[in-house]
Structure 1
Amino acid sequence: MARYIGPKSRIARKFGEAIFGPDKVLSKRNYPPGQHGNNRRRKTSEYGIMLAEKQKAKYTYGVLEKQFRNMFDKAAKSSGITGEVLLQNLECRLDNVVYRLGIAPTRAAARQLVSHKHIVVDGKVVNIPSYSVKPGQIVGVREKAKSLEVIADSLAGFNHGKYPWIEWDESSKAGKFLHKPERADIPENIREQLIVELYSKN
């Protein structure tokens, strides 16, 4: 399964945001990596700013270039605002839904749970992280995986009311995907219009 496996703290420092989850290194060194990271004065070009925004979105959701481009092309052909549709489609990925439900502490951990067949959709095991969850579908923890420490630790104290497009049922350790989220409800700090402008130049 293709995914980014490089140094995550360097990437987080590059964007100045904890895009992979809590990061102790970022809190200590909140400036770009490299020998001159704290003293750079070079102005980033307009193209560079747009490219960085695309990279940030890719790293945030754990999607590689080809897959991200395919998702953009699909969003561009859909009705609605392309950038918003792109983010909505990213939010529908199974690994992201597992993360939003609090079943895993990070998207990377959610991908691992999905790949290892610990997650079910409508009662059936789905081990494809990029699977697109549809409104009305129920995503939950496989029965024999409910005792896993990583899942129990992640769910402990998680606020299940903060995402209005999903509904959690504690007794069944499952959540219902109610509808695609509105852009205003997606908390990620991504300027999707810059991504649209970048691809329109290519």
Structure 2
Amino acid sequence: MDIRGSRCKYSRALGRKVDQKLEDKDPLSRRGPIRRRARKKSDYGLHLTEVQVCRMMYGIYERQFRNYFKKAKATGENTADVLLTSLERRLDNALYRSGMATTRRQARQMVTHRHIAVNGKPLDRPSYQLRVGDVIEVKGGKLSKPFYKTLQEELVDPNPGFWLQRDGKDGFKFKVDRLPNPDEAEQNFDPSYIVEFYSKYV
């Protein structure tokens, strides 16, 4: 599956939402059930589905996702927990989780177009791993764009105690208060299946 493809198409194929923005046009409910004989998935197929759901949610290519797994396994800690924490610490994910972007795909575009600065330094790498104390903000000159004026009206503060905290009045500046916990990840997949998949089949 190509991460650049249609989110509606992939959600329907996988049987689960891979983008929160699909709430208003849910491909799993509006079009009704697919009338075809259900085939039982193999063990491989079940594990692969979890991998694809996770990859589509975070917008990560297969090779990069495999590298996340290898690094998580090499730590000697709980592989699933380290993997989830690494995915949550991505810059594009943090923008989405903070409310500065409505989807991860939108957040990725904001980063690649160099609209985002971390600790005052512009970054164009969506996969950048955030650290405690990092400050993420939209570059000052970009805030006058209509896109950000509209988005500002929709901003919602993260829950109290969340790992990202608002650090500015305009809503486009956040600070990493602490590293995310694995159970704070937006899990629409089973991480244990992902670990088993790469341990067994890759």
Q: Work out whether the TM-score is over 0.5.
A: yes
Aligned to 2:175: 176
Q: How many residues align?
A: 195
Query: Structure 2 vs 1, CA of residues 86 and 30 (structure 1 numbering), >3 Å: closer, same or farther?
Result: farther
1:178-193 matches, cutoff 5 A: 178-193=177-192
- Percent sequence identity is 35
Cα RMSD of the aligned pairs, angstroms, is 1.8
Higher relative contact order (CA 8 A, sep 6+): 2
Q: Report the Cα offset of residue 17 of structure 1.
A: 2.8
Q: Report the Cα offset of residue 25 of structure 1.
A: 4.8
CA contact (8 A) 1:95 1:111 kept: yes
CA contact (8 A) 1:119 1:139 kept: yes
Aligned to 1:67: 64
User: What is the TM-score with the length of structure 1 in the denominator?
Assistant: 0.89
Aligned to 1:91: 88
CA contact (8 A) 1:93 1:130 kept: yes
Structure 1 stretches of 5 or more lacking a match? 32-36
Instruction: Find the residue that maps to 2:20 and give its secondary structure.
Output: coil
- Distance in 1, Cα, partners of 2:37 & 2:157: 41
Query: Structure 2 vs 1, CA of residues 30 and 98 (structure 1 numbering), >3 Å: closer, same or farther?
Result: farther
1:26-65 matches, cutoff 5 A: 26=27, 27-29=29-31, 31=33, 37-65=34-62
Aligned to 2:100: 103
- Distance in 2, Cα, partners of 1:52 & 1:195: 9
- Distance in 2, Cα, partners of 1:21 & 1:187: 10
- Distance in 2, Cα, partners of 1:137 & 1:177: 5
- Distance in 2, Cα, partners of 1:49 & 1:187: 20
CA contact (8 A) 1:16 1:30 kept: no
Instruction: Find the residue that maps to 2:187 and give its secondary structure.
Output: coil
Aligned to 2:12: 13
User: What is the TM-score with the length of structure 2 in the denominator?
Assistant: 0.89
Aligned to 1:133: 130
- Distance in 2, Cα, partners of 1:97 & 1:86: 15
- Render the CA deviation track for 1:51-107: whole Å, top value 9, x for unaligned: 000011111000000000011100001142101111110111111111111111111
Task: Give the counterpart of 2:73 among 72, 76, 79.
Answer: 76
Query: Structure 2 vs 1, CA of residues 30 and 136 (structure 1 numbering), >3 Å: closer, same or farther?
Result: farther
1:62 maps to a residue whose letter is: G
- Distance in 2, Cα, partners of 1:167 & 1:133: 13
Q: Report the Cα offset of residue 21 of structure 1.
A: 2.6
